Structure 1
Amino acid sequence: MRLSPVDAMVAAGIGAPGAPPTPEALSRWQLAALSRAVRHAAKAPFYRKRLGALPADFPRSLDAFRALPFTTPADLTEAHARFLAVSQDDVARMVTLSTSGTTGTPKRVAFTDADIEATRRFFQVGISTLVEPGDTVLILMPGVRPDSIGDLLCQILPRLSARGVLGDPTGDPEALRAALVAQRPEVLVAAPSQIRQALADDATCDAARATLRRALLSAEALPEGWKGLVAQRFGATVYDHYGATETGYGGGVECEAFCGYHLRETDIFFEIVDMATGAPLPDGEVGEVAFTTLTPRGMPFVRYRTGDAARMLPGPCPCGSRLRRLGPILGRIERGEDGPRLVNPAKGAANRP
């Protein structure tokens, strides 16, 4: 079993390439990175009042950092422009996301060229877990717009001596079957909804079994039992990815052990907090995923609550990594008069830690 390639990325990020990163070394690096991240975020109007008066050496401890207020998706919806820490001229891409089907006020997330390159770097590392030189990768993620997920994957796959091919993103089984027959891909990248109909179509499943070896599912909750279902119907080993547009798309990816997401720890600091109180939770306890962006970004986030429920898994991973991993996403958190509760509990169960 191979060590997750994300470990090498983390080791290089903390300035210690060539040796597996340790939790202790990473924690020391992250504390200094959080100090830099807070100072950078204070350039954005939204964070200026919250963070601008903090001492230059803040935080001296993780406990001090965890005393900072949270940022919520509602904050971003109400005033996305106030999250910019750069000039409008430096924004390379602005991505609009609906927050509640088609009726919610959209969120907007801005990316600089450097942000997009950081995403490319993580995509290259993360997908190397399952892509080998010479592979053809069929990508159903949208890729028409420049620097969309599908386009970014097509950009980075040649770095791995592989080839990306954009497929039909609508979920039509006939279109998928035609692409499988024409392109003979070894790897498929898709959202679960994009292959839902195909899993019930025998002809498409036959075409998948004739060529696919691995699949990466992302962008949506992975329904319970789908790893076994896709393995049976498509003949492919399924890897899961966790991320959000606010994280710069990439957040973490499973390794060959399938024991949690190996995290983008030198770009993003993840926390698990109590769903009701926001208090930090120890490894192993289920709470809400929150994150802080560590590298300079056009739109930084500090203690951003995702609404995803999960737990942090301590190292070591069976692949050999000593670093913590994020456990499966167990559902979305909905807040009502009676307090928070889990809805759509889908992403966690079968064959997961």
Structure 2
Amino acid sequence: MRVSPFDAWIAAATGQSGEIPDPARVADWQLAALGRSLDHARLAPFYRDRLSHLPAGFPDSFAAFAALPTTTPAELAADFPRFLTVPQDAIARMVTVATSGTTGPPKRMGLTDDDIEETLDCFRVVMAVTLEPGETVLILFPAEKPDSVGDLIGRGMRRLGANPIFGDPTGNPARLAEALLAHRPKSLIAAPSQLLAALDDVAVMAAARATLRSVVYASDFVSSELRGKTANRFGCRVFDYYSATEMAYGGGMECLAGSGYHLREAQLYFEVLDPGSDAPVAAGEVGEVVFTTLSRRGVPLVRYRTGDAARMLPGPCPCGSPLRRLGPILGRINRTEAGWTVSNPDKGRGTP
């Protein structure tokens, strides 16, 4: 089993030679990167006000960084212009996303050309887990608009040397079966909702079994039931790609060992916090996934709450990577007067 391609990517980004990075050196690099990121974040009015009290050289430890307040999706939605560190005409891609479970204003996210460049590189590495140069990948995410998710995935695949083909984003089973037979892709990238109808279609199942080596799910929660059903019906490996719009579409990807997400450690710093406070949970405990951007130019985010429940896994991974991984997303955090619970959204659910 080969080591996750994230390792060589992170090693190079953190100034290390070789294919496998030293976790201690990655941590040292991240601590310095957090300092640079906070300096940049203070260019945004929102963080200038919030972080103005920090001393020079902050943070000198991860514990010191963990004392900073978190940023919530509601704050981003309510006050988006104050998160910008560049003029609005420097934003190459503006994204608007409805805020899940609320009636508040939608969230917005802006990406500069440099931010998009990092996302393209991320997609290249993500699909290197299951795709080889020269192979075809079928993408169901819409790609008509420049810098849309589908367009970015396709461009990332071309950097890998793969051949991206775009299918019907509605997930129409007849059109999906036709695309699978016509292009014979080795991998299929889709949101869970795009494949729900296809998983019960005999023609799609036959076409998938004849060509697919893997399905990569992205965008929505993926239940264990859906993973099992997909693997059983399509006869292939199933991978879950963890991402969010606020992450610039890239967070982490499972490797061939299927033992947690290898993280985008050179561009995002991840924590798992107590949903009822801003404090990290003990190692291995379930909490809320929080991330800080390390190199974002347009809209930096500091300790941004995702609402996702998971636990951090220690290295090494069975694939050989010594770096930490994020365990599977267990569901969404629900806060109540009595504390907090985890619920599984309907998106992506299925039965074997």
TM-score (norm 1): 0.95
The Cα shift of 1:214 comes to 1.0
Q: How does 1:150-165 map to 2 (within 5 A)?
A: 150-165=150-165
> 2:293 maps to what in 1?
293
The Cα shift of 1:87 comes to 1.2
For 2:101 and 2:155, the matched residues in 1 are separated by 30
> 1:39 maps to what in 2?
39
> 1:146 maps to what in 2?
146
Distance 1:329-1:120 versus aligned 2 partners, 3 A rule: same
Q: How many residues align?
A: 350
Letter aligned with residue 307 of structure 1:
G
Letter aligned with residue 326 of structure 1:
L
Distance 1:19-1:162 versus aligned 2 partners, 3 A rule: closer
Q: 1:37-67 CA distances to partner (integer Å, 9 max, x unpaired)?
A: 1100010011011113322200111111111
Compare 206-215 and 15-24 and name the one that shifted more. Answer: 15-24
The Cα shift of 1:346 comes to 8.0
SS in structure 1 at match of 2:121: helix
The Cα shift of 1:156 comes to 2.0
Identity of aligned residues (%): 57
Q: How does 1:182-261 map to 2 (within 5 A)?
A: 182-261=182-261
Give structure 2 stretches of 5+ with no counterpart.
Answer: none
> 1:126 maps to what in 2?
126
> 1:85 maps to what in 2?
85
For 2:183 and 2:102, the matched residues in 1 are separated by 34
- State whether residues 4 and 255 of structure 2, in contact with CA within 8 Å, keep that contact through their aligned partners in structure 1: yes
> 1:304 maps to what in 2?
304
The Cα shift of 1:158 comes to 2.1
The Cα shift of 1:348 comes to 12
Distance 1:102-1:35 versus aligned 2 partners, 3 A rule: closer
Q: 1:159-185 CA distances to partner (integer Å, 9 max, x unpaired)?
A: 222100111111211121121122111
Letter aligned with residue 316 of structure 1:
P
Compare 147-156 and 89-98 and name the one that shifted more. Answer: 147-156
Letter aligned with residue 73 of structure 1:
P
The Cα shift of 1:301 comes to 0.2
Letter aligned with residue 153 of structure 1:
I
Distance 1:23-1:345 versus aligned 2 partners, 3 A rule: farther
For 1:347 and 1:314, the matched residues in 2 are separated by 29
CA RMSD of aligned residues (A): 1.9
For 2:297 and 2:335, the matched residues in 1 are separated by 30
Q: 1:58-113 CA distances to partner (integer Å, 9 max, x unpaired)?
A: 01111111111110000011011110011112111100001137954211000000
Distance 1:149-1:163 versus aligned 2 partners, 3 A rule: same
Q: How does 1:273-288 map to 2 (within 5 A)?
A: 273-288=273-288
> 2:270 maps to what in 1?
270
The Cα shift of 1:339 comes to 2.5
SS in structure 1 at match of 2:108: strand
SS in structure 2 at match of 1:210: helix
For 1:101 and 1:56, the matched residues in 2 are separated by 39
- State whether residues 66 and 278 of structure 2, in contact with CA within 8 Å, keep that contact through their aligned partners in structure 1: no
SS in structure 2 at match of 1:225: helix
Letter aligned with residue 186 of structure 2:
E
Q: 1:200-231 CA distances to partner (integer Å, 9 max, x unpaired)?
A: 11111111111111111110011222332212
Distance 1:296-1:232 versus aligned 2 partners, 3 A rule: closer
1:75 equivalent in alignment to 2:90: no
The Cα shift of 1:317 comes to 0.2
Compare 74-83 and 92-101 and name the one that shifted more. Answer: 92-101
Letter aligned with residue 267 of structure 2:
D
Compare 313-322 and 226-235 and name the one that shifted more. Answer: 226-235
- State whether residues 170 and 194 of structure 2, in contact with CA within 8 Å, keep that contact through their aligned partners in structure 1: yes
For 1:326 and 1:308, the matched residues in 2 are separated by 11
SS in structure 2 at match of 1:240: strand
SS in structure 1 at match of 2:10: helix
For 2:107 and 2:348, the matched residues in 1 are separated by 27
- State whether residues 198 and 204 of structure 1, in contact with CA within 8 Å, keep that contact through their aligned partners in structure 2: yes
For 1:169 and 1:95, the matched residues in 2 are separated by 18
Letter aligned with residue 208 of structure 2:
A
For 1:296 and 1:198, the matched residues in 2 are separated by 37
For 2:104 and 2:148, the matched residues in 1 are separated by 22
- State whether residues 276 and 340 of structure 1, in contact with CA within 8 Å, keep that contact through their aligned partners in structure 2: yes
- State whether residues 330 and 347 of structure 1, in contact with CA within 8 Å, keep that contact through their aligned partners in structure 2: no
For 1:155 and 1:87, the matched residues in 2 are separated by 26
For 1:9 and 1:346, the matched residues in 2 are separated by 34
1:117 equivalent in alignment to 2:117: yes
Q: How does 1:90-101 map to 2 (within 5 A)?
A: 90-100=90-100
Distance 1:330-1:108 versus aligned 2 partners, 3 A rule: same
Letter aligned with residue 127 of structure 1:
M
The Cα shift of 1:157 comes to 1.6
SS in structure 1 at match of 2:224: coil
SS in structure 2 at match of 1:74: helix
